[in-house]
Chains A and B, each alone.
Chain A
Amino acid sequence: MSSTDRTQPSVRRRDWLLLPAVSLLTICFLAFSAELLSRWLYPETRIGFQNCFATNDPTGYAAVKPNSVCWEQTPESPMKVEYRFNRRGHRAGAELSPKLPGIYRIVLIGSSLTQGLFVPREKTFAALLPAELSLDTGRKVEVYNEATGGKFRGGPYPMQDSAQHFDEVLAAQPDLILWVITPADVMNFGSRDNEAENTASTDAGSLQEGSRPTLASAKPRSFWKRLTASIASGTFGERLKANWEATRTSIALKHLLIASESQDEYIQSYLSDRVNAEFLMTKPDAKWQMQLQSFDAELAKIALRARNAGVPLVAVFVPNRPQAAMISRGDWPDGYDPFTLDNEVRKNVVIHGAQFIDVLPDYRGIPGPERDYFPVDGHPDASGQAIIFRFLAKELVNGGVPELKASTPRDIAMEPVK
C-alpha cells in the first residue's frame, strides 16, 4: 500500500474543504435514500382512521367508534388490513344477535392479539374457531370477539376498569367466556392506568401499542431551542435515539436484522435486554411481582363476576415471540424460563375458580414459531394466528370443557399451517 511508503502524496488545500463536504453529502444521500427505499419497501398506509376513533375519550386513550371502518397497512404487514367495527364497537365480523336455541356461544375477551391486529379478520383465530369447533363437537358453536385492547383501545386487556364494564361481556349471553392472555397484558397491567390518570389529553395520532399520550405543549419551540434544551438537560442522546426510531429506516433495518437472526441468536439477543426479558426470568423481581399482583386483582374481579353470572371462564396464555422461540428450541440460558409467567397465570386463574388451558407446551413441536410473528411489532401474523387457532381448537375439544368435548379424538400431532 502506498501509505506505507516514506514518500507521501500531499493534500491539496481545497481538499480540506472538499473532503468533509463529500462526507457530509454522503451522509445526507445515505439517510435520504435509505428512508426513501424503506418507505417504498415497507409502506405504511392509514385510510379513514379518523372514522374509527372517538376523540375526547375520557380514559385518555382513543376508543373505537361503533359502526366504523378503517384500513391500515403497517410497515411489516404485507397487505392493507380492514378494521370493521360493529354497532357495539367490536371487530366481530357481524352484529351480535340474540342467541338461538341449541347454539353454544363463546365470547372472546382479550387484547390486540385476540382482536387480530395487522391480520385480516377472516384469518384470525377468532374467525377460524367457530367452523372447526362446530365440526369437532357436532354442535353449532358461535364465537363473538369482544377483544378491546391494543391500539383500538389503547392498551392491554384487562384495564383497571375491565371488571366494571364486564356487563357488556355478559350481555352477549355467553355459554363460555374465553380470555386470551398475552405476556404484554400482564406486564403492562397497571402502568397504563397510572398514565391515564395523569394524562388529560388524548393524542389521537399516537395509536401504536405502547406509545405514550403526550401532553399538549403550550407553544411550539424552534428546532434550535429544543436542541439546546435537550443538550442542557442531558437528554440529547435519548432524543436522538427517539428520532431515529421514528424513521422508517429504523423499522426496516430492525425488521431485516431481527428476521435474519437464527432462533438461537434471536433468543440470546432478546435476553440480553434484561428490561424486556424480565418476565422470562426464573426469579421475578419486585416490579414483575407487583405487575402480576395488579393483574391478579383484576383477574379475581372478572372471575368473580363470571362465576356470579354462572358463566364458565376459561383462560389461555398465548406466548409472545421470544417465548415461542425458547419453547420450540427446548433449551434456554440459566436464570430464564419461558414457562414462568404461564405457570404464574395458571396458578392465579385456578385459585380464582376459573379454568386454564395450556397451549404453551404445544409450541415444542413447531420449528421456528418466531417466524410467525411480525419481527419488530411482535404480534402474530396470519400464520401465527393459524397456529393459535389450531392449538386452541385442540385444547378446547380435548375434554377440558365438557360441552365442547369432541365426538371423536382429535389428532394432536398436527403440522403447523404455513
Chain B
Amino acid sequence: MMDSASLQFVLFGLITVTLSNFSASRVWRSIVLALASLIYLSLLAKSASVLIPMAAFLLFGYGALALRERRWLGGAAWSIPTAILAYAWLKKYTFLPERSFLHFPYFTVGLSYIFFRVLHLLIEAGEGAGTEAKLHIGFFPYLIYTLNFTTLVSGPIQRYDEFARDHFAVEPLPLGPPVIGLQLERIIRGFFKVNVLAMLLHRLQENGLEHLTQPIPIEHKLFAAIQLTVAYPLFLYANFSGYIDIMIALARLMRIRLPENFDRPFSASSFMDFWNRWHITLSKWLKMYVYNPLLVVSMRRISSLSMEPLLGVICLFVTFFLIGVWHGRTSEYIVFGILQGGGVAINMLWQLWLARILGRKGYKDLARNALYIALARGLTFSWFAFTMFWFWANWKQIGTIFSAIAFAPWLAVCLVIWFGATSVLAMWELLRAELVKLRTAEGPALTNRYALVVYATAMGVIALVVTVLMNQPAPGIVYKAF
C-alpha cells in the first residue's frame, strides 16, 4: 500500500506536482489536484463501497453549507451540532450507544481533518462571519478543499480562504529554482525524519517497553523506563513533523502555501507555549472555534472582573481537554485530555500566582531568567512525555508500565527526565544560538544553499539506503489513525 510518507507516495506527489505545473491555469491545476486526491483516496481505501459513509458526510457538509450561505432554514444553525454528532458517530466514540453504529467496515482515514475543514466552513458561513466567507463556495472547490491529498490524512488544517487565495489565484505563486530546491530539501528532510529518525526512535521505545516488563535488575529497569518515556515524544515529533514537511513542500510545489504545524516545540518554556508550537493548526483551530467563543460567552454571563482570569483558565482547560479527547474514542484519551487541559490550566494558574506574589515586573524578570527558562523547558518536555502514555498505550499496557517498578523509582525516573531534559535542551539552545551566529555575507552559514545541499544529500542517501537497500519498514504516520 502507498503509505503516507513512503517513497511511492513521494514519487506520486512529485508526478502530481509535475503535471500540475504543465499549465498555470486554475482549471488545469484544479483538475490535477482533484484527480490526484481521488487516486490517492482510492489507493488508500481500495474499495469504493467503504467510502460511502465519508461521501455521505461530505455531501451533508456541502448541503448544510449551501443552506447556511443562503440563510435558508433559519441559517441551519442545527447543522453544526449535527456535523459534530455525525463525526462522533462515524468515528464510533464510546459515549454513543454501540448498537447505533454502522456494523460494516468503512473508511475513516482523514475523516477528522475533513471534519475540521467542513466545520470551519459551516461556522464561517454563519451569521456574523467575515465578508470573504459570504462568497458561495461551489461543489468542486469544496471537494478539492476537503479532499486535497496534501492535507487529507493528517493535516495541516488549512483555512478555506488561505487555500482559495493560492489555488484559485489568477497569478499563481511563483516557482523558481530556489523555491524548488528548498522544497525538495524539505521533502528529503521529512522523508528522513519519518523513515530513519522516527524508525530508530520507535525501536528505542519498543525496546524500553520490552525491557521494562522483563525480569531484569532494577537499574536496567530504571533505564528502560527513562528510554520508554523519552523516546515516544521524540518519535512522534519525527513521525508527524516529517510527514508535515513532505506535505507542505509538495503543496508549495503545487503553488499552495500550507500553514506550518510545528515550531521547535521542545524549545517551549511553558506548556501553554508548547501548544503554540506543536500541532499548531489544531490548537489554533480550537482556540478560534472553541476557546474564544467560550470565553466571550462566559464573560458575558459572569461579568465580575476578578473572575476573568479564572474564566480564562477554565476555558483553556476545556479547549485543551477537547484537543486530547479528539485524538481517540476510548477512555484513555479522556485522561489524555484531562492531562493536556490540566497542564495548560495549571501553567496559567502558576503564572497568575507568580504575578500576584512577585508583581508584574518581578514575574517578568523571573520569566527572563535563563535557569528558570531551562527548568521550565525541561518540565514542559517531561510533562508532555508522561502524558503520552495515555496517547499510545491502552489501559492494560499502562498498568503493566506503572506496575513494572514501584512508586519511588518512578519518582526518580521523573526527576531524572526533568533534569536531563533541562540540561540537554539548554545545551541544545546554547549550541543553536552559537551556530546561528556563524554568518556569511548571504546570511547564516549553516543554512545557506550549499549547506542545505549537503544536508539534503546526506539525509537522502541515508534514507534511501535504509528504506530501499536495507528494506527497513518505518512505523506508519501516527496521526493517520485520528
Contact = CB atoms under 8 A, between A and B. Distances in A.
B435 interface: no
Contacts of B179: 3, 8
Given A3-B179, A26-B457, A368-B214, A19 B450 contact: yes
B215 A367 contact: yes
Given A3-B252, A8-B179, A261-B203, A22 B454 contact: yes
Contacts of B453: 19, 22-23, 26
B207 interface: yes
A10 B179 CA distance: 10
A26 B454 contact: yes
A106 B397 CA distance: 48
A21 to B, nearest CB: 9
Interface in B175-214: 176-179, 181-183, 200, 203-204, 206-207, 209-210, 214
Given A3-B178, A19-B453, A23-B453, A260 B257 contact: no
Interface stretch (B129-137, B385-393, B469-477): B469-477
Interface in A1-27: 1-4, 6, 8-11, 15, 18-19, 22-23, 26-27
Interface in A89-143: none
B461 interface: yes
A165 interface: no
A9 B173 contact: no
Contacts of B472: 257, 269
A294 to B, nearest CB: 30
B449 interface: yes
B178 A10 contact: yes
Interface in A266-319: 268-269, 272
Given A22-B450, A257-B470, A1 B182 contact: yes
A26 B214 contact: no
Contact of B178 (A11, A18, A272, A368): A11
Contact of A254 (B203, B210, B470): B470
Given A18-B450, A254-B470, A257-B470, A8 B214 contact: no
B465 interface: yes
Interface in B237-261: 252, 257, 260
A262 B210 contact: yes
B contact face: mostly helix, strand, loop, or mixed: helix
Q: How large is the interface on A (under 10, 10 to 19, 20 to 34, 35 or more residues)?
A: 35 or more
A3 B182 contact: yes
Given A15-B449, A244-B469, A8 B207 contact: no
B458 interface: yes
Given A15-B449, A27-B461, A253-B465, A8 B178 contact: yes
A70 to B, nearest CB: 32
Contact of A8 (B174, B203, B216, B454): B174
B261 to A, nearest CB: 13
A264 interface: yes
A contact face: mostly helix, strand, loop, or mixed: helix
A102 B174 CA distance: 93
Q: Which of A3, A6, A11, A30 has the most CB of B within 10 A?
A: A3
Interface in A227-269: 241, 244, 250, 253-254, 257, 260-265, 268-269
Given A3-B183, A260-B207, A272 B215 contact: no
Contacts of A3: 178-179, 182-183, 252
A11 B177 contact: yes
A10 to B, nearest CB: 7
B210 A263 contact: yes
Interface string B321-365: 000000000000000000000000000000000000000000000
A23 B457 contact: yes
Interface string B451-462: 001101110011
Nearest to B203: A260
Interface string A323-345: 00000000000000000000000
Contacts of A368: 210, 214
A89 B178 CA distance: 68
A269 B475 CA distance: 12
A26 B178 contact: no
A257 B472 CA distance: 8
A4 B252 contact: yes
B449 A262 contact: no
Nearest to A23: B457
Contacts of B176: 8, 10-11
Contacts of A272: 473
A264 B182 contact: no
A260 B466 CA distance: 14
Given A4-B252, A8-B179, A241 B469 contact: yes
Nearest to A269: B473
Contacts of A263: 210
A34 to B, nearest CB: 9
A6 B173 contact: yes
Contacts of A23: 453-454, 456-457
16 contacts: A4-B173, A8-B174, A8-B176, A8-B179, A9-B178, A11-B177, A19-B453, A26-B458, A30-B458, A250-B469, A250-B470, A260-B200, A262-B206, A264-B206, A272-B473, A367-B215
In order of increasing CB-CB distance, the 10 nearest A-B pairs are A262-B206, A26-B457, A3-B182, A367-B214, A23-B457, A260-B203, A11-B177, A8-B176, A22-B453, A3-B179
Interface of A: 1-4, 6, 8-11, 15, 18-19, 22-23, 26-27, 30-31, 241, 244, 250, 253-254, 257, 260-265, 268-269, 272, 367-368
